Chains A and B, each alone.
Chain A
Amino acid sequence: MNTLRSFPTSVAMPRNRVLAAYAQETRAECLRYLRSPSFMLPTLLFPAVFFLMFGVVLGGHNSADAPRFLLASYSTFGVMGPGLFGFGMSLALERDNGLLTLKRALPMPPAAYLLGKMVMAMLMAALITILLQTLALNLANVSLHVGQMLQLALVCIAGSVPFSALGLLLGTLMKGHGAPAVVNLLYLPMAFLSGLWMPLSMLPLLLRRLAPMWPSYHLNALAQAAVGFDIGNAWPHVAWLALFSVVVLAIASWRLRRHG
């Protein structure tokens, strides 16, 4: 046992090298998804195609407010994707295929893995909002001033946080190749029930009453506010999303620590 004590136990890791590890992990996580068409295409195309279909092609003879409303709701819909899929599905797959095990065995700073995926989801949210805003301004005759454009972008980027948290939690609950189906089972109904596909006023009363359960309902409210619709006080929605993120993230990291 004396030998244990005589052995120099650790090499100090300089602070800048720890930061470099975070940066490398984030860079690698972004690069791997940017290069993966099976992730990029659906994530970008779904919201863009829906918006083009309902906001541009079919929405031509609706009121002028319709495309603006749809810009906000499909932005919300788009932002949900990278968090749920990039985080949840990839975590589920990596728990299954041994990558997470290897990363846990290597001296990776524990938070770097999550931070990398978080930044990736935010980057995708930024791409989605740029794409949808470009389509809206050029093809759907939506007019926004710069302040509104930036506000919508901010809502989208920050709005990926609660869905990344939810994705993380899902990722700790499921494993392997069943994950895409489970994520879709949550993603699509949640979008519908939050009034992203058709206005809530067209849904039955019960569903309308239940809508505030869903994080996407609150994010949609903030996106609508950003493009100029009056939603009343925005802070309860922000507070709800913040609380949701913290609680879900806490449960997910507890599960991750416990069960890996």
Chain B
Amino acid sequence: MNDAVVASLHGVHKRYGAQHALAGVDLELHAGQVLALLGPNGAGKTTSIALLLGLLRADAGQVRLFGRDPQQVTARRNIGVMLQDAALPPTLKVGELLRLCASYYPAPRPLAESAVLAGIEDLLDRPYGKLSGGQQRRVQFAIAVCGRPRLLFLDEPSVGLDLPARQRLWAGIRNLASEGAAVVLTTHYLEEAGHLADRVCVLLRGRIVSDGSVDALRARVAMRSIRCVSALDADAVAAWPGVHQARREGTQLHLACKQVEAVVRRLLDADPLLSALEVQAAGLDEAFRNLTDDDAAPASELCEAA
């Protein structure tokens, strides 16, 4: 049961006018697995989720949710949803909102249980509009889990949460996954993906450019970039051990390396006139940029993997 595919995209394309939001995406979501969708803004994360939720229709390809068209309400009775910006009615009390959303499901959790899962036991009698941003996010999480979903969609779940609240949310998510629920979350934070996800998919310009474990992505992010002004030949430097990639832009030399210390030492030895040395820390943005570069080069292994 744990490997069952609960939802899938097959060869999905989606355009908004001239913009290709998704350009042939294949993705399968498995029961019990926490999948993080990573990518810069506009990469297609939200579009992928919207297709799986039946909010949009694909231009081409197949979208399945529990074996059905996600626009059928019966398919969606198995899911829980937390969207990035949903202004719930401010005059309704938290308990009333939870009761309302639970009424959409065939066998919802008791209200108190959802409240405990989201840590909002003490907020049930408060009007939603009087809550802080973090409290509102917790209520939204309670709404997402109130129907005992077998697939949970979380769009940027920890935005606006402080660290303790974030950790509590992560514990709640892990708990649901261990009960066999599939979880899809979109995030900007590699840290969040690292804490939660069994699997990370990176989307770039409407394509999945990386799909694998968190460790695999980490290894890729471990790459650092070096910039300097130097007369050294880029092709020669590219052959050095530890250098993944080297290219020249005007007077500047750009390197992507793994053993950055050794490479810097060798650079300084090889070119005494070297100046404006810059080493950039590993960040998700950098990882994205590396992936983009690789994606652009047809011969690269990453492109084949994608």
Where the two chains meet, the residues of A that have a C-beta atom closer than 8 Å to any C-beta of B are: 1, 3-7, 9-14, 17, 20-21, 23-25, 27-28, 31-33, 35-36, 94, 97-99, 101-102, 104-110, 260
Contact = CB atoms under 8 A, between A and B. Distances in A.
9 contacts: A7-B67, A9-B67, A10-B66, A10-B78, A11-B78, A23-B103, A105-B81, A106-B104, A260-B55
B89 A104 contact: no
A107 B104 contact: yes
B241 interface: no
Interface in B182-218: none
B74 A13 contact: yes
Interface string B112-153: 000000000000000100000000000000010001000001
A36 to B, nearest CB: 5
A7 B5 contact: yes
Contacts of B74: 9-10, 13, 107
Contact of B91 (A7, A14, A23, A31): A31
A32 B91 contact: yes
B68 A105 contact: no
Contacts of A31: 91-92, 96
Contacts of B76: 105-107
B18 interface: no
Given A3-B3, A105-B83, A106-B81, 7 more contacts: A1-B5, A11-B107, A32-B92, A97-B87, A99-B88, A104-B54, A107-B147
Contacts of B101: 106
Interface string B7-30: 010000000000000000000000
A165 to B, nearest CB: 23
A17 B103 contact: yes
Contacts of A105: 53-55, 76, 79, 81, 83, 153
Contacts of B96: 28, 31
A21 B86 contact: no
Contacts of A4: 5, 8, 64, 67
Nearest to A6: B4
B77 interface: yes
A94 B90 CA distance: 12
B140 to A, nearest CB: 9
Nearest to A8: B66
A125 B99 CA distance: 27
B292 to A, nearest CB: 30
3 nearest A-B residue pairs (beta carbon):
A97-B87, A24-B103, A102-B86
Contacts of A106: 76, 81, 101, 104, 143
Contacts of B92: 28, 31-32, 35
Contacts of A97: 85-87
Contacts of B85: 97-98
B282 interface: no
B67 A5 contact: yes
B6 to A, nearest CB: 7
B55 A104 contact: yes
